[in-house]
């Protein structure tokens, strides 16, 4: 069963994830990375329980950025699978349980490192997140290496410490950096690694592992050979474990939002179609101000509509679309490429219910995984 065949089978709004697409993306990533790199999946991008169980046998572990994500990851993974952890804000009353749950912790700052590295579980390998101060992302909202960045210890500060004797860094066991966002150019990753190697060869020489983070897409990528060159460079020069944690590259194309037209009317000469979903179900549409792909859209379509969300937010708009056939009340609209950062960011603004969650399974069946209701809304308010 294909996604366009099931649109009338779901109660909308509905989020549908495609198990086959997820498995295909993971297998492609594993084939590309080979044995030279360990594959982690970050829960911040997608955290549906049954889907994570599906992924667990095929990845080397999960990455988490909060206590709840770490608990969720450990509930799903077998003991021999690893969990990496990093966050800008570690709470003093959570660090002990985080270190029990996680195998690797990359502290976000030298301050956190000094405060907590001696108090974690003996089984946990403690490292440091580094800000290479080598920006590639133009939009400052999503640039981990922006000026005054909160993400990682600045490379120039670490180099200064290294030049003054290195003692504060001597117990660091690993390095983590995440410096890009939706990039298809792996030359950026190679540049970053060689930049760190030039500035801090002593630190790379002492650590046991490096986490390259995510922020890269495999589909349509340029210079995949640069990714392999990066991995080869690190392994041959330093003989360390390497981790990579693609999120959107795994699930980005594996999710759909199915919605229903609730109302149609004209406004200043344009036809408006109000849907039963909202940008609050797909927050990155609003954050990035981009026009999401709609399956039924036709470039040369005769019928033009502004697709609008169901809340009273005036900017709750998806954009202008053309269709070959006129929309009617009850027509279904399917948004594509909604797999990542959708439900993990979705909210119930205006009391509009969250989308039901369905799986399009490997055997072509449609399974309802989660239906939200008034109790989910009410529980937030005591």
DSSP secondary structure of 242-293:
EEE--SHHHHGGGEEEEEEEEEEEEETTEEEEEES--GGGSHHHHHHT----
Q: Spell out, as residue ranges, where the chain has pLDDT lower than 70.
A: 1-8, 166, 220-223
Exposed (0-12), middle (13-18) or buried (19+): which is 378, by Cβ within 10 Å? exposed
Separation of alpha carbons 359 and 123, rounded Å: 36
For residue 221, the model assigns a pLDDT of 61
For residue 102, the model assigns a pLDDT of 97
Q: Token digits for 99? A: 């270190």
269-315 residue pLDDT tens: 999 999 999 999 999 999 988 999 999 999 999 999 999 999 999 99
For residue 52, the model assigns a pLDDT of 98
Q: Which residues sit opposite 130 in a β-bridge?
A: 153
Chain length of the chain: 382
- The answer to whether the beta carbons of residues 217 and 250 sit under 8 Å apart is no
- The answer to whether the beta carbons of residues 58 and 26 sit under 8 Å apart is yes
Distance of CA 269 to the CA centre of its chain: 39
According to DSSP, the β-strands at 356-360 and 14-18 are parallel
Q: Which of 352, 346, 360 is nearest to 262 (CA)?
A: 352
> Using omega within 30 degrees of 0 as the cis cutoff, is the peptide bond preceding 13 cis?
yes
For residue 5, the model assigns a pLDDT of 66
Estimate the crossing angle of helix 187-199 against helix 155-163, to 10 degrees.
20
Which segments of the chain are extended strands (E)? Answer: 14-18, 38-42, 61-64, 82-85, 104-107, 125-131, 153-154, 174-176, 209-211, 241-244, 255-267, 270-275, 303-308, 317-323, 332-335, 356-360, 366-370
Q: Cβ contacts of residue 376 below 8 Å, gap of 6+?
A: 348, 353, 354
Q: Token digits for 144? A: 């981990």
37-52 residue pLDDT tens: 999 999 999 999 999 9
Q: Token digits for 231? A: 């991995």
**C-alpha dist (Å) from residue 288 to 27, 259, 340, 345:** 29, 21, 14, 13
- Walk me through the domains of the chain, giving residue ranges and CATH numbers: 3-16+252-381 (2.40.37.10), 47-246 (3.20.20.10)
Separation of alpha carbons 177 and 153, rounded Å: 10
* The model's pTM: 0.94
Estimate the crossing angle of helix 224-238 against helix 19-33, to 10 degrees.
50
Q: Which of 27, 103, 19 is nearest to 58 (CA)?
A: 27
- The answer to whether the beta carbons of residues 63 and 85 sit under 8 Å apart is yes
% the chain with pLDDT above 70: 97
- The answer to whether the beta carbons of residues 217 and 257 sit under 8 Å apart is no
Q: Token digits for 121? A: 């579980």
Q: What is the DSSP string of 2-37?
A: -GGGSGGGSPSSEEEEEHHHHHHHHHHHHHHHGGGS
Number of Cα atoms under 13 Å in the Cβ half of residue 28 = 14
């Amino acid at each position: 069963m294909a996604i366009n065949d099931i649109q009338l089978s779901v109660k909308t709004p509905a989020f549908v994830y495609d198990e086959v697409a997820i498995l295909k993306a993971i297998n492609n990533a594993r084939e590309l990375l080979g044995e030279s790199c360990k594959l982690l999946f970050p829960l911040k991008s997608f955290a549906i329980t049954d889907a994570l169980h599906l992924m667990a046998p095929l990845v080397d572990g999960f990455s988490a950025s909060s206590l709840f994500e770490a608990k969720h990851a450990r509930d799903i993974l077998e003991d021999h699978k690893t969990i990496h952890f990093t966050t800008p804000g570690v709470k003093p009353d959570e660090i002990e349980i985080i270190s029990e749950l996680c195998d690797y912790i990359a502290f976000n700052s030298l301050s956190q490192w000094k405060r907590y590295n001696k108090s974690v579980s003996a089984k946990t390998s403690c490292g440091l997140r580094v800000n290479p101060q080598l920006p590639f992302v133009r939009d400052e909202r999503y640039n981990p290496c922006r000026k005054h960045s909160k993400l990682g210890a600045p490379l120039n500060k670490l180099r200064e410490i290294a030049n003054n004797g290195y003692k504060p860094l001597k117990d660091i066991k690993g390095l983590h950096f995440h410096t890009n966002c939706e990039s298809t150019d792996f030359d950026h990753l190679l540049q970053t690694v060689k930049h760190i190697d030039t500035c801090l060869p002593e630190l790379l020489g002492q650590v046991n592992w490096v986490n390259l983070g995510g922020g890269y897409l495999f589909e349509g990528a340029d210079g995949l050979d640069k990714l392999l060159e990066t991995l080869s460079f690190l392994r041959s020069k330093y003989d360390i474990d390497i981790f990579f944690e693609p999120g959107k590259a795994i699930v980005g194309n594996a999710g759909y939002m199915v919605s229903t037209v609730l109302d149609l009317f004209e406004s200043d000469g344009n036809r408006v179609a109000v849907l039963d979903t909202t940008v609050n179900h797909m927050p990155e549409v609003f954050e990035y101000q981009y026009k999401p792909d709609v399956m039924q859209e036709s470039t040369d379509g005769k019928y033009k509509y502004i697709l609008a969300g169901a809340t009273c937010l005036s900017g709750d708009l998806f954009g202008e679309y053309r269709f070959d056939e006129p929309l009617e009340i009850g027509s279904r609209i399917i948004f594509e490429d909604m797999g990542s950062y959708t439900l993990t960011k979705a909210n119930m603004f205006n009391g509009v219910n969250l989308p039901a969650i369905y799986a399009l399974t490997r055997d072509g069946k449609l399974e309802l995984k989660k239906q939200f209701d008034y109790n989910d809304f009410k529980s937030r308010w005591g």
